[in-house]
Chain A
Amino acid sequence: MKNLKILLIGQPNVGKSSLLNALVGPRVIVSNYPGTTVEVIQAEKIFDDTKVNFKDTPGIYSISDRSEEEKVTENVLFEEKLDGVIVIADATSLERSLYMTLQILEARIPTVLVLNFVEDAKKRGIEIDYKRLERILHIPVILINPLTKKGINELINTILKIERISRGDFVVKYDDHIEKAVNKISTQIKGSLPKRFVALRILEEDKDFYKYLKSEKIIRDSKEDLKEHPKVAEDISITRYGTASFIAEKVTRIIPLKKEKGKIQEIIDNALLHKIWGPLTTGLSFLVIFGTLLYLGNFTQKILMNLTESLLSSLGIAKYSLITMILAQGLTGLAAGVSVALPYVFLFYLFLNLLEDVGLLSRFIVNTEKFFKKIGLPGNSFIPLILGLGCTAPAVRATRILPSKKEQFHAASLFAFVPCSSRIAIIIGIVGFYGGIKLALFVFATSLIAGLIWALGIKRLIHINNEPLLLELPPYRKPLIKNVLVKSWIRMKDFVFIVIPLLVLGGIAIGILDILELTNIIVKPFSPITTWLKLPVVTIIPLVFGFLQKDLTGAMLLSVLGSKISLALTPLQIYTFGVASTIGIPCIIALGILIKEFGYKKALLLTGASIAYGLLFAGLSWRIFSTFYH
């Protein structure tokens, strides 16, 4: 059987995932590109006697090395022996897609150009003579519509014969100076990559390509030659875009429309990007989404837990044997995993992908940008942070959407202060129930203040250079429900595989400790904490073991103090307990994901530091408030 490796490439919002879906269906694998947190989607499908392996990297505007996504795409293009590339172009702005197409042609990789949104373009009076485009670029150009599957078969047939596509017959001609420098550098390039492409990347100051040079001396030499031409990199971009725009103009016919389109779009934008209404709508939308998730989260949790319990009791196996314990904890872990994954991963991403596909997400990001910049994070940080209100573990994973490792870690550290649903349950169920709702609100406020101090501190500490806001706001569109469902399903699958084993292991660990009656022994070294917090010594058990299963913190407190908590603890102590069990990386599951994302060292450091900070804050708040009470 023949094997083909094909990369899908295109700008953000160009319909890449719907095309992949139309090509192979929902059976895809999401994985990290080695050494990065950038996700690469892969899928395989057999057509006749050929196995085609599709790869889909995040949307980018050009082959460059400014962002992690671009670096990963660059790596896939040149380090993995690809058989061809499918460039997905937006027919409503052809020149932009051609920019990247020209770069890929420079790299002499067989390319198929597919045009999406052709009907959209037509509605706007844009008609593209794709046959002429084919003749100019010497590559196949196919009109597609992933919705109606138009052009999909033609695309598959073209891919199967991809080796017959000419590579790089069309060449962008740069200035004489630059061409001279390209020729000069080309003589010093080793390896099998197309020399012209590598030379251009070097002139564009992409340091990743320096490794293909026999010696880096040539860079200085060519810079010397180009003294009269100081802005080489800019000039290359300008010429390339100019060529793209020239070609686009040649093949595009614009029919003036009588009626002006997009009035409604403008009205919505004027509201959503308004100084006051914008942030307000954004905030309200978050509230609605979060409220729905919390409600559905509790709902699924209840059903699943009851189901497991009745299942376990109906099995009626003798208590306290190791096997039943493992079975019971395993089942409970599974139920807990699903009850987290269903609302906080599947539904959350369903909402998120819906917002993204409709076009609302980018407007929300614009509205949150200014606030988040103040604490050193980009505007889209609200995505993981809102998810953090549901469950910290998938939220840590969701920090991947942030541009740099530093920003990802910074956002992840904030989950110490964004209470997840289990912590919210402690604050409302224990602090609120036994100490009054005012006290519960105080805990939330304390966590918020502690978080802001922490965020500003981290911003200073790790010197984050935030990227300036530069974001395309896609037009509002009807979402492709199937596409949204598939994307959310992929997220859930990805999460379930990691988190369920962790939950089961955590449960088993608690069970074993319980059977062997090790609880008290393990807790002992931690008892100075209760002295600092001015809490009864026994409260250390829920504080420490809460880390294994946060949901059980409340139950554990009840079991060590008895049901009359308001007698055993003063309101101030209830508050302190609430703060101490809220602030900090909450549980072993979150720690597990942190390790997976950032490595042992950083994960343990963050978890330790945040818990210590939380305890410090709780103890200090106790001391401050107690002076008022006396």
Chain B
Amino acid sequence: MFKESDILKVVKEDILRILSERRRKVPLKLIKAEIGVSHPFISKGVKDLRKENLVCIGGDLISLTKDGEDKAKDILRKHLVLENYFKRTINETEAEAHKKAHILEHYISEEVVKNIKKISTFKEKEISLRELDLHKESLIIDITIPDNELFERVVSMGIFPGEKIRLTNKIPGGIIVKIKNKKFALDKGIAKEIKVLKYEKS
């Protein structure tokens, strides 16, 4: 059996990593969806991180503090070092190396990780909305539209990180998506700049 404190440690480090990878504020909803542990753990994790002055919370949005950024960088660095180590020495596939790195970065036993289902393996699951399969539901994790006015338009229409999104139709030159009960026709170019999670129900 694994201890509650172990899970909390994993969760906290995962939260920091997600925040650092996104490089901007992230809704709590998104974190909950990405880290597949029960919500009380996440709420506790966020609370602890705030106490430790690593994150700040505004409404539903969480972002890193200066200290939090440093800490997150450490985690990421560790993660990369381990990943490279596995890739070079054991000649594993990238995905597997990445997974191992995840496991080790939390300094806990593999067994624990196995028990925590759907632990965040974030990067490799990120795809653009264009690549999402028809009728698949996913989660918006980032919007990378460079033009800030277009970015604002997209956001104000309700296309926002943390929202569930479903690809309902493909049309010439674009796609039709559904977010909550609203449907949108999106240009291919815009769809490319919307990053979603490759959803795998476990």
Contacts and interface: CB of A to CB of B under 8 A. Distances in A.
Contacts of A262: 181
- Is chain B's binding surface mostly helix, strand, loop or mixed? mixed
A246 B162 CA distance: 12
B81 interface: no
Contacts of B181: 92-93, 124, 262, 475
A237 B151 contact: yes
B25 A469 contact: no
Contact of B153 (A246, A274, A470): A470
B176 A473 contact: yes
Interface in B134-165: 148-158, 160-162
Contact of B60 (A64, A205, A246): A246
Interface in A441-498: 468-475
B27 interface: yes
A237 B148 CA distance: 9
A170 to B, nearest CB: 12
Interface stretch (B86-94, B97-105, B106-114, B166-174): B166-174
Contact of A237 (B152, B162, B171, B172): B152
Contacts of B153: 61-62, 64, 66, 470
A61 B158 CA distance: 9
Contacts of B190: 468-470
A471 B183 CA distance: 9
B59 interface: yes
B185 A96 contact: no
B85 interface: no
Given A245-B27, A471-B185, A204 B148 contact: yes
A471 B173 CA distance: 13
A275 B187 contact: no
The interface size bin for chain B is 35 or more
Contacts of B123: none
A470 B187 contact: yes
B187 A266 contact: no
Contact of A238 (B150, B155, B182, B183): B155
Contacts of B185: 362, 365-366, 369, 469-473
Contacts of A173: 58
Interface stretch (A184-192, A228-236, A512-520, A602-610): A228-236
Nearest to A230: B23
B128 interface: no
A231 B148 CA distance: 8
B25 A62 contact: no
B171 A278 contact: yes
Interface string A245-289: 111010000000000001000100110011100100000000000
A119 to B, nearest CB: 14
Contacts of B174: 366, 369, 469
Contact of A471 (B61, B148, B152, B184): B184
Contacts of A231: 24, 148
A475 B182 CA distance: 8
Given A231-B24, A233-B152, A469 B173 contact: yes
A242 B27 contact: yes
A245 B160 contact: yes
Contacts of B173: 369-370, 373, 469
A242 B168 contact: no
Contact of A96 (B25, B152, B156): B156
Interface of B: 24-25, 27, 58-61, 63, 148-158, 160-162, 168-169, 171-174, 176, 180-187, 189-190
Top-10 shortest CB links A-B: A468-B187, A246-B59, A62-B156, A233-B148, A246-B60, A469-B187, A473-B183, A242-B61, A61-B156, A273-B169
